[in-house]
Amino acid sequence: MNMTRRNFMGALGALFAVQRGAAAAGPPDPGKVEKLKLSDEEWKKRLAPEQYAVLRHESTERPGSSPLNGEHRKGTFACAGCDLALFTSEAKFESGTGWPSFFTFIPGHLETKTDYKLILPRVEYHCARCEGHQGHVFDDGPKPTGKRYCNNGVALKFTPA
């Protein structure tokens, strides 16, 4: 095999993904969530500019800027792009990072991929319905999963129970 930079980075990303437990989340059951496909113009009409930047172009909001950091009521956190429920309030915890954080998600409602934007690979996750970027998952969360789903607050909507 010709070892190009792309091949090397791909192999390195696969290694880190397995080590980080990305495979544990696995792909969602394709029968559970129907995909929502909209044109770029439709997304621009549907979303506020900050939501569009995060959900459609994988931007990141400033830490500490989301009102959802202080949201402690019982309820559901859904994708701001398509309203698919992603997390329950029982899974939310204070991570001290400045972004809403969760230790688990609603099964089948997130998809992952490897992100190389900061050179070292990270596990990025998206809404399974609209493929909107939500955030990154790390292995420094609380029990029982040990995971921290670090989410952009602007990519979420909260609905109280």
CA-to-CA distance for 12 and 115, rounded, in angstroms? 12
Strands, sheet with 75-79, edge to edge from the N-terminal-most edge strand: 85-88, 75-79, 156-160
Of 82, 127, 130, 150, which one is the catalytic site residue? 150
- Other beta carbons within 10 Å of 22: 22
Listed in sequence order, the DSSP H helices in 2-150 are 5-20, 22-25, 40-46, 49-57
What the block records as the tokens of 91 is 């899974």
Catalytic residue flag (residue 130): no
Q: Looking at the annotation, which residues are catalytic?
A: 150
